[in-house]
Amino acid sequence: MAVIFAICSSKFMSSVKNLVVNIILFIMIECNAAYNVYWKRDTSPVMFGDSVNLMCMVGRQEGCDNSTTRRWDGGPNNTILLLNGHSSNATKYYEVTKDPCDNFSLVIMNFNMNDVNQEYWCSFGFETSRQNLPLDEQNFIGMPTKNNIHVSVQQWATKLDISIGFYKVFPKPKCKIKIGDEHLLIDPIKSNVSRIFINAYLHKTITISKDRCHGNVSIKCALLTTTILDITQSLNCSFSCR
Ligand SMILES: *[C@@H]1O[C@H](CO)[C@@H](O)[C@H](O)[C@H]1NC(C)=O
Ligand SMILES: *[C@@H]1O[C@H](CO)[C@@H](O)[C@H](O)[C@H]1NC(C)=O
Ligand SMILES: *[C@@H]1O[C@H](CO)[C@@H](O)[C@H](O)[C@H]1NC(C)=O
Ligand SMILES: *[C@@H]1O[C@H](CO)[C@@H](O)[C@H](O)[C@H]1NC(C)=O
Ligand SMILES: *[C@@H]1O[C@H](CO)[C@@H](O)[C@H](O)[C@H]1NC(C)=O
Ligand SMILES: *[C@@H]1O[C@H](CO)[C@@H](O)[C@H](O)[C@H]1NC(C)=O
Ligand SMILES: *[C@@H]1O[C@H](CO)[C@@H](O)[C@H](O)[C@H]1NC(C)=O
C-alpha cells in the first residue's frame, strides 16, 4: 500500500508540477501575446517650471477594451498619480489620452527638481513599464529669472572688463563674446552646483586693439539652444584712440 501510495503521490505531484508549469507557460504566453507597454519622455527639452509629458506606449491592441486599467505611479512621493484619468493631485498631474486603448500620457505640471531622478511607472492592464526619469545635460533646461542674470560691461580706454553671472540655471551656460567681428577665446564659464541647479560666472578683462575701437562688443549666452543673454554694446575708446 505504501508503495502504491508513493507511486500515486508522485504521479499526483508530477501532475501538479505539470499543471504549475502549464499555468506558468500560459501566463508567459498570455503576457507576450498581450501588450508590450513602455513609457518615454515626450517633451524635449524639458523646461523646469513647465509641463512635462511622459507617454505610455501601448503596443498591440487586440483584445483590449475600454475597461483596461490605465495607471501611473511613482514620482517623488512614490504614490499613485493617475488611475483611469483620475488624478491623485489635479494641481500637479493630469492624463492625456484619445481612446481607451491608445497610448496615454502623464502630464507633470510645474516640473521641478523634486520630479526628476525619480521612478515613474505606467500600467496598462497587467503590463507595467517602470523606469527612472534621469536628469541629463542634453534634455533639461533651467532658465534663470531676470534677477538671476547679472552682467556688467565696463570700459576704461582700451581696457574692457566683462563680468557675467547666472544663478540657478541648468545646464552650464555657454557664452560667446565677439569684439567687432572677432570671436574672443574665453575660458569655460566657472560654476558651482547647488542641488541640481548651477551658479555660473565669468570674469574677463581684455585689452582691445585700436583698430577695433569703433566696433561693438556682443555677448551671447545659451542653455543648450535657448538664448539667455544677448547684448551688444558699442565700444568707445575715445581716451586713447583719438
Ligand atoms: C503609440 O505608441 C506607438 C509605439 O508603441 C507609436 O508607434 C504610435 O505612433 C503611438 N500612437 C500615437 C497616437 O501617438
Ligand atoms: C465600453 O465599451 C462598451 C462596448 O463597446 C460600451 O457599451 C460602453 O459604453 C463603453 N464604456 C465606456 C465608458 O466608454
Ligand atoms: C509629496 O508629499 C508632500 C507631503 O505630503 C507634499 O507637500 C508634496 O506636495 C507632495 N508632492 C507631490 C508631487 O505631490
Ligand atoms: C499637490 O501638488 C501641489 C503642487 O505640487 C502641492 O503643493 C500639494 O501639496 C499637493 N497635494 C498633495 C495632497 O500632495
Ligand atoms: C557659488 O557661486 C556663487 C556665485 O559666484 C557664490 O556666491 C557662492 O558663494 C558659490 N558657492 C560656493 C559653495 O562656492
Ligand atoms: C553695432 O551695433 C548696432 C546695434 O546695436 C548696429 O546698428 C551697428 O551696425 C553695429 N556696428 C558694427 C560696426 O557692427
Ligand atoms: C566716448 O567716451 C567719451 C569720454 O567718456 C565721451 O565724451 C563720448 O561722448 C563717448 N562717445 C560715445 C559715442 O559714446
pLDDT tens digits along 56-91: 999 766 777 888 899 999 999 999 999 999 999 999
Residues whose CB is less than 8 angstroms from the CB of residue 14 and which lie 6 or more positions away in sequence, other chains included? none
Distance 236 CA to ligand 6 centre (A): 13
Q: Which atom of ligand 1 is nearest to the CA of 38?
A: 5
- On whether residue 2 sits in a domain, the answer given is no
108 domain residue, yes or no: yes
DSSP calls for 99-121: STTS-EEEEESS--TTTSSEEEE
154 lines ligand 7 (CB under 6 A): no
One-letter amino acid identity for 77?
Answer: N
What's the pLDDT at 35?
53
Ligand 7 neighbourhood includes 236 CB (under 6 angstroms): yes
Whether residue 52 sits in one domain with residue 71: yes
**Boundary-marking domain end, from 92, 113, 140:** 140
Q: Lowest-pLDDT range, 45-49, 153-157, 173-177, 191-195? A: 191-195
pLDDT beyond 70 at 201: yes
45 lines ligand 6 (CB under 6 A): no
Domain assignment present for residue 124? The answer is: yes
Pair 99, 153 in one domain: no
Q: How confident is the model at residue 209 (pLDDT cuts 50, 70, 90)?
A: confident
Q: Nearest residue CA, atom 8 of ligand 6?
A: 216
Residue 113's closest CA among 198, 44, 56, 174?
Answer: 198
In a domain, 182, yes or no: yes
Averaged pLDDT of the chain: 85
132 and 148 together in one domain: no
Q: Going by CA atoms, what residue is nearest to atom 6 of ligand 5?
A: 199
Q: What is the pLDDT of residues 134-143, one digit of tens each?
A: 999 999 999 9
Could you tell me the distance, in angstroms and rounded to a whole number, from the CA of residue 18 to the centre of ligand 6?
A: 84
Q: Domain check: are 187 and 224 in the same one?
A: yes
**How many structural domains is the chain composed of?**
2
Residues spanned by the domain of 234 = 142-240
pLDDT for 32 equals: 43
How deeply is 165 buried, as exposed, middle or buried, from its count of CB atoms within 10 A (0-12, 13-18, 19+)? middle
- Which tens digit of pLDDT belongs to each residue from 4-53? 444 444 554 555 455 444 544 444 444 444 458 999 999 999 999 999 99
